[in-house]
Structure 1
């Protein structure tokens, strides 16, 4: 099993899950020159990370990779069983993080780092929402997470799942960007996740300068 990886990117998320699982994998550190090579496009059509190669399976998108791994090794408990009622809430928060929570963080990041490389979005789209508007957008969509985490450390059945990995990955960016106040309940949540040994092993570059994101 190989994970193609660049520090401080979405590739941290599947690496974190693999570390939590204790599954053997090869970490392939990627740089921009590697992504420009013709053969890399066979791994990812947009020449990005992460990419997971597992035998005959080659899959990209961090949330998809984490969901795949959680189901493949479901006995490890990082996804509820398919016939469990908790499975619905697991899917809900997994998709919420990727589809609803991440966009305002990404727009905020483009405002803070306007020269950040982005292969897919033209400049006028990247900066169509101001920094302040992006913060307000984030605060609004983060509210359901604040509510569900009252009295909990994790999103589903109060145990760590791949939904926390993806949500935590988004909130990690928000924390780096200064979007979370210290008294925000989500700060307590992400700080707890960051204390996990598997996270520390996966994101050894957390304290790198934000310009390297």
Structure 2
């Protein structure tokens, strides 16, 4: 049985959400998030980070890689457009945009305002990061003005990847009322039973 190393409010939420949406059986290995960021990969998992899965002789970190692995092995075509379909490119873009671009501003903000106690010394950086975040939110808002989900008319794993990123941005008050379609989208995603279960 697939094993997921999990701590609340970490990227492991994404993987649990995915597994719940697919209605797969899995073993949840809970641990507490270590807030001491001075030691690099310091989490209580074999890789020292979240998320981390074990599936037979496969062991894997990085949420985007895990999402692709789980869909390839267990998805049976669910939660992703078929290869060669019209929405496939947009799906791949947003699936990787979530961590490759969108999360950068949020990660920096978390580092400076949550895990350090000298945020007042970094206001110029924090302000620049907020500008970067607003560029991201503008792209998301534009996409959602055309369709209900990030890559088209259907809920996909790209929404799982982006939903966690945008939910974090809302929690940090980076995502504001200037982006109404994005806020409504986040609220819809967080109302999904699979995500609600994954937050507990």
Category of TM-score, reference length = shorter chain: 0.7 to 0.9
In 1, distance between residues paired with 2:74 and 2:165? 23
The CA deviation at 1:76 is 5.0
Q: 1:193 aligns with which of 170, 186, 189?
A: 189
For residue 32 of structure 1, report the CA deviation from its aligned partner.
Answer: 5.7
Query: Does the CA-based 8 Å contact 1:107-1:129 persist in structure 2?
Result: no
Do the aligned partners of residues 183 and 142 (structure 1) sit closer, same or farther apart at CA in structure 2, a change above 3 Å counting? closer
Task: State the secondary structure of the residue aligned to 1:130.
Answer: helix
Structure 1 runs not aligned, ≥5 long:
117-122, 205-213
1:32 and 1:86 map into 2 onto residues whose CA distance is 36
Question: Which residue of structure 1 aligns with residue 24 of structure 2?
Answer: 23
Identify the range of structure 1 (163-172 vs 104-113) with the bigger mean alpha-carbon deviation.
104-113
Distance 1:199 1:36 in 2: 23
Once the two structures are superposed, what CA deviation does each residue of 1:34-90 show, in whole Å capped at 9, x if it has no partner?
x677xx5xx31xx11110111121110111111211222333521122232322211
Look up the match of 1:150: 145
Alignment of 1:25-44 (within 5 A): 25-31=26-32, 40=45, 43-44=46-47
Instruction: Give the structure-1-normalised TM-score.
Output: 0.80
- SS of equivalent residue, structure 2 residue 76: helix
TM-score, scaled relative to structure 2: 0.85
Match of 2:127 in 1: 132
Q: Residues 32 and 153 from structure 1, CA distance in 2 versus in 1: closer, same or farther, beyond 3 angstroms?
A: closer
RMSD (Å) for aligned C-alpha atoms = 2.2
How far is the alpha carbon of 1:3 from its aligned partner? 0.2
The structure 2 residue matched to 1:176, chosen from 165, 171, 175, is 171
Partner residue in 2 for 1:119:
none
The answer to whether the Cα contact below 8 Å between 1:49 and 1:60 also exists between their aligned partners in 2 is: yes
Q: How do residues 65-84 of structure 1 correspond to structure 2 at under 5 angstroms?
A: 65-84=66-85
Most deviating of 146-155 and 93-102:
146-155
**Count of equivalent residues:** 188
Q: 1:59 to 1:145 in 2, by over 3 A?
A: same
CA contact (8 A) 2:4 2:53 kept: yes
TM superposition outliers: structure 1 runs of 4+ over 3 Å: none
In the alignment, the residues of structure 1 paired with residue 25 and residue 139 of structure 2 have an alpha-carbon distance, to the nearest angstrom, of 35
